[in-house]
Every structure is written in structure tokens, then in C-alpha cells.
Chains A and B, each alone.
Chain A
Amino acid sequence: MSLAIVDAREWQNLLDLRTGKKVKDDDPRVQAPQTATLRDVLRRHPYPGDSDPRSNRWVTDSALDLVAAYEPQLACVVYGHQYFAGRYTPMTDVQRKGMMEELFAEIDRFVARSGYEPVVVGTGDMVPLEGEIDLGKLEGLAISSHWSARYAGLHRATPRDLDHVRSLAKVERVVGRDEWLAAFPDAEAVPARVPEHLLLAEEGWTFVTTGTPMRRPVRVPGRGFRIPLSTRLGAAPSLLDIRGLVLSGAAAGKKVALIVAEGVGMNDFLLPFTPCANQTGWHYYEPGDGFYLTLSTGRHQVFAYPSGYNYLDETDEKKDLPFSGYFLDFPAHALGDDFPGKSVAAGNHSMFVHMVFGADVCMECFARNLYNQGGFGVIHRFR
């Protein structure tokens, strides 16, 4: 049973990750040496905040600390500052370039100090916001979930709604549920969770729907049909194949680091790279749960929490994993689950790190809508 450690700065609480209930002091998980170690690491690294320029340095420092403490064979490391800051903070080209240079300096620092064999993948370029498509006045319900830019789901749409959205110049395409399901025949799906229609915005455009964050972005994810991948472990033609590279590298006796650079595509990637397909027909993964779960499991996860699904109907009481956002359960076949050796994960994308990689020991920030609540640690396996 997974243990969660909340670190709200100078105050920690130990909880059962699945139930969210406080764990008693005599629980063996509390007494485990791994718990004491992770609590110390969390204490040593108070999170500076998503938009703070020190945020990526926090990732490197935390990841190095975890690696030193646990000596894992696999480290998953997520750098997200440039995605959050780039999305909401107006920047000059010089400032953006500087931010990217700092990011890659942090990646270099982690790789150099840890000595791990890096597999570095970017989630795709960000492009300036051209405009927004407001769907608030439809008769049905439109939802653009989880900061998605390109996708919005339509629920209970009327014929008038469909005529309207098809007339919108910046809506690139309207995809029916059946067409979407057919595009990913091997992906597991609960069809009831898949929106009846999926709307695709043109590049640079994004939807405004119920649940859209109040802050207006200045940049949004661009067309991410191909993403940059940097590794010496071999070729990965698509996002699905990266997991295999990591596992084969580890099987060859290497210590491997899977490093994700969010909001970084081929235009900003500062390491030698090869393009990697992130495309199935009209679909590509934005930097969100679908991307991470596919990367981690090596299987398409487009329907696990489908773009535009009606998450509002799944936010009521008595939900398992209350500290894990909209995740309803642990993903099957996460990289850490299937990895035979010890693993850690660290990153500054709240909630994703401990859920998507399934590493033995995870450390991340706890932030919501850019508000900094502190740090969060999870131990999935005590070994």
C-alpha cells in the first residue's frame, strides 16, 4: 500500500495514498527507513513554485538527493518550469532562450553528477496564443480538460450546437466518438467516458469552456506530431517505443534516467536529437496524462482520461486517491511497476510524477493552478 508524505514546509503529514487517511505512527510504513529518508529529502528541498526560476534547479537537486539515497537503477525526472512559466508569462525571445538554456544546464547537471545514461524527451513546442474559441454558450456542455489547448469534448450537443461548432473558422475538425475510438482500436476505453464529439482547434488557438483556468495563456502547445528524443540507447520511432529503450538499457546493466522536458519541442531542444512520432492520424498527445501514461506504459493511453471528458461528474466525495487529482486508479503497467530494479521519480509537475511512472519512491511539488503548497512524496514499494 502506497504511503504519501505531505510536506507543507516545516510540517509533514503521513497519509495512505489510496484513502487519503492519516497513517498511524505504529504503521510499519511509517517506521520504514525509506520513509525517514524521503522525509529528510523533502525537508531539505522546499519547493520554490512552478513559476519561480529556481523550480528546475529544485528538480535536479531533489533527483540527485533521491538517487544518492536509494541508488536506483532507473530515475524518471520531469522538468516542467518552462512549460508553466512559458504558458502564462509574457517573455521576449531572449528571455525564452535563456530559460531553455537554464533548463538544459539543469539536465546536464543531473546527468553529469548522477552518471546515469540519459533518455531525454521533449513534449513538443509551445507557440504564441493566436486566439480563443469560446464554447460557453452552447446548449450542450463543452469541456476542455486539464489545460488542453487543442482538444475540447462536447457532451449532449444539440444539432444547433454541432452546426455552430462546424461553422467556426478556427475549429479544425469535429471528430465523432466512434471515429475517435476507431482510430485507436487497441487502446482500452470506457466508451461512456469518451465525449460524444471531440473538437480540434487550429494551431495557436485554444478553447474556453467550463473549467478553463482563469488565467489566459500567452503560449499554448503547438502541433506536436513529432517530438525530440535524445539518447544513445538506440532508436525509438514513436512515443510508444521509448519505454522499450529504457528497459533494454537497464537490462544491459546501465543506470538509466528517463528525462522529460515539458513544453520543449524540436525548435528549442538543445541536445542532439532524432524526431520521434507522437502522431496517430490527426491525433497527437499534448503534455498531459495521455502523453505521460503512453510514455510510461508503452501503450496508447488516449482514453484513460480522454481529452474533453466530463471530469465534473467524477469529482464527488469518496474518491480513491484524493491527493492524485483526477486519477481514479493506479495505471497498469507503469514503467516502475514492470521494472525489475529499484526506481525513483522526481519532478515539478504536480500529481503526475507519482502516478504515471509508478516508481518505488517519488518526489514532486504539490501545486494547484500555480499556487505552491509545498512538496509531496510517495513510496509505492518499500525495498
Chain B
Amino acid sequence: MECTYCEWRCKLGEESFGVCRMYHAVGGKVVERFPDRWSYTSSRMEALPFYHAWPGARTLTIGTRGCNFNCRYCSNAYVALADPAAGADDGTHIHAMTPEELVAMALKLDCRNIVFNVNEPTVSIPGLLRLREEATRAGLPMGCLTNAYGTEESTEALAGIFDFLNVGLKGFTSSFYGEYIGVRDVGPILRNLRTLARRRHVEVTTPVIQGVNDGDLDDMADYLAGIDPEIPWHVFRLLPEYEMKDHAYPSIDAISRKLEAARKKLRYVYFHNFVGSEWVNTVCPECGMEVVERLSLGCGGDKLEGFHCTGNRCPRCGRAIRMCGEYAPTADRATAACAAESEATA
């Protein structure tokens, strides 16, 4: 039978699993092959990256296995493209955990939300629906990183599960997606991006491969601005990995120059994924004040340095700054404990 979770629309049987290898057909239904198996750790929102959602919050980041893309530069290939049937033998950690146990872990770690960020959520939608129910009971919002190659139906499901999403817009042409991502058509991605942005808080991430997709940056900016000029856009300097390990690192100066035009079209354009980036702070589009300061440590290490908004508004001119959720960093309990102990012994 046909799988309707993503636009591959694979033909599934009990022993035929499609592109992502995460579903099969049993008793006339498409079901997960490996339900309730998760990886998890904790992280900061800025590291994922979400710059405009729950700033400074600690989050439980989770993932499963499998992906419906085959990006030639995948930085998570050892997880996302591993054979999900290999289980623990694939060289990574995966745990049998119920939704209740995942939520309990999030609460134990003082996480403010749960974000699916390791691989593509479309390959684990039934499990995520169950997790959403439990997270809702605990008052935990959920977010994800997605490549947006789902069907319209599963895109609606993602919008129902997740309160905030970071959509990977990896290119702007079908020829790019065909050569570098392994899918034929950019159309569904653009369609789903628009749908998701209408329903939920959306940020967009684009890895730039110099000489390959940097020429499309202006078109992408136009497209995003046409949806909503307030969409935060993360332009990533490609970190050459996997099949592109020997590819040159893109020039930071050259890409930054190319983004000048985009900065006039979109309110929040960031250029990072390299240590020491100078393009990670949020500037008030109205008065130019730096309202959120961040630090870039590269490859998933960004962190909040200062949040100066008042009620998600610029403290100088009062303009609303796009933000999903409030500034709510996890308390520095250990430092407080150390300080208390020092005081007690002084």
C-alpha cells in the first residue's frame, strides 16, 4: 500500500519499507517499525537553532532514526541515515522509552519544551502524536526541525504536533534538490513551508554551498518575504561532511556580502554555523537596537548572551519582536548552591 507520510509515497508491504525504512504496511495500515525508540539529550534553544522561540530555555532534544532525504553533506548521517533495523548495533545510542518516560526526563532536566532535531520527524509521526498528548498533559510545548517534504496531510499533522518549527529550505530549485538532496521536486517543500508558516511559528534554515546554491539566496529571500517578512532566516555556512567532506568551506565574507540584499527584505537574517560569527544578534527592525545578543560556537553551539526585550518588545522603541514563548532561562541552580555554600562558610 502507499505510504502517505511524505511525498515519496513509497509502496510499502510487511517486508518493504520505503525510503526512510521507518514504516511498513501491516493489516492494511501503515505503522511504525520501531515505535517508542528514541535518542535524547538536553540542549539550548539557540543551539538547534531557534533564535525566536523560548530564548535561553533548556530543551529536551530527541530523535529517532531514518530520513527521507539523502543530503550529500548530511552532518548527522551516522544517525539519520543509519539502518534503523540495526538498533544499538548502528554505533549510536537509542533507548526504548515511552512518551511518559520522555516527558518525565524533560521535567527532571528542567527543560521548558521538547524539540525533535536529530532526524526528520515525518518518519516518526505516530510516535510523535503519542508524545504530544503526554507533553500537553505536562504543559510542555514541542518543536522540531523538518525538511518539509511531507504530504499535505502529514504537514497538517506536524502543525498539530509542533508549536514551533525550523524548516530546512536547502535550495530553491528542483535541480538542486535532485543533485544534492536526492528528491525530484522542490514544489512540495515550498508549499509546506507556506502552510506551516500560516499555522505555527516558523524559522527557516538554509545551508549555503558556495558556487552551488548561493546564487539562489535572493530568490529564497523573496519567497520568504512573500510569506512573511518577519520569518527568521538562518543562513548556515556549510560544514562539509559525509559525501562532501572534501568540499571547500564557503567564504564567510563572500556569503555575507550576498546576504546584504536579503537583509532589506527580511527583518531577521542570521549567518552562522561557524565559530565567532558576528551575525547572530537580533536587531530591532525599527530602531536598530540589539535586543537579543547571542554567541556562536559553531555546529550547534550557539547560546544566548543577553535578552533585552521587555515582554517581547524592543525596550527602546516598543516594536514587537517576533518571539514564540517567553524568555525563560533555566535557573543556574548549581552556581546558586555554590554561592550559598560560600556564604555559609565565610
Give the interface of A toward B (CB within 8 A): 6, 8-11, 13, 15, 20, 22, 88, 132, 134, 136-137, 141, 190-193, 208, 210-212, 214-216, 218, 309-310, 312-318, 322-323, 366, 368-369, 371-374, 376
**Complex: A10 Cα to B241 Cα, angstroms:** 18
Contact B42 A373 (CB under 8 A): no
Contact A6 B276 (CB under 8 A): yes
Instruction: List residues of chain B with CB within 8 A of the CB of A318.
Output: 305-306
Contact A317 B105 (CB under 8 A): no
Residues of B280-328 at the interface with A, using a CB-CB cut-off of 8 Å, are 295, 297-301, 303-307
Inter-chain residue pair count (beta carbon < 8 A): 129
List, sorted by A's number, 15 A–B pairs whose CB atoms are closer than 8 Å: A15-B276, A141-B108, A190-B341, A190-B342, A208-B93, A210-B109, A216-B91, A312-B58, A313-B330, A316-B330, A317-B303, A317-B307, A318-B306, A371-B298, A372-B239
Task: Report the minimal beta-carbon distance from A231 to chain B, rounded to whole angstroms.
Answer: 36
Contact A312 B42 (CB under 8 A): yes
Check: B274 CB closer than 8 A to any chain A CB. Answer: yes
Instruction: List residues of chain A with CB within 8 A of the CB of B41.
Output: 210-212, 214
Question: Which chain B residue shows the least CB distance to A212?
Answer: B93
Contact A312 B305 (CB under 8 A): no
Contact A316 B298 (CB under 8 A): no
Extra contacts, 6 of them, besides A141-B109, A366-B275 (Cβ < 8 A), are A211-B42, A214-B92, A310-B334, A314-B334, A322-B295, A366-B298
**Complex: A88 Cα to B335 Cα, angstroms:** 33
Instruction: List residues of chain B with CB within 8 A of the CB of A15.
Output: 276
**Complex: A141 Cα to B106 Cα, angstroms:** 11
Given known pairs A216-B92, A313-B335, A317-B306, the reply for A368 and B299 (CB within 8 Å) is yes
Contact of B274 among A20, A208, A314, A373 (CB under 8 A): A373
Contact of B252 among A10, A22, A132, A372 (CB under 8 A): A10
Contact of A315 among B39, B44, B108 (CB under 8 A): B44
Interface SS majority for chain B: mixed
Give the interface of B toward A (CB within 8 A): 39-42, 44, 56, 58, 75, 78-79, 88, 91-93, 95, 97, 101, 105, 108-109, 118, 237, 239, 241, 249, 251-253, 274-276, 278, 295, 297-301, 303-307, 329-335, 337-338, 340-342
Task: Report the minimal beta-carbon distance from B111 to chain A, rounded to whole angstroms.
Answer: 10
Task: Report the minimal beta-carbon distance from B136 to chain A, rounded to whole angstroms.
Answer: 23
Contact B305 A317 (CB under 8 A): yes
Question: Which chain B residue shows the least CB distance to A88?
Answer: B91
Contact B239 A371 (CB under 8 A): yes
Instruction: List residues of chain B with CB within 8 A of the CB of A369.
Output: 299
Contact A13 B42 (CB under 8 A): no
Contact of A11 among B105, B241, B251, B301 (CB under 8 A): B251
Instruction: List residues of chain A with CB within 8 A of the CB of B252.
Output: 8, 10-11
Given known pairs A216-B91, A314-B334, A317-B305, the reply for A373 and B341 (CB within 8 Å) is no
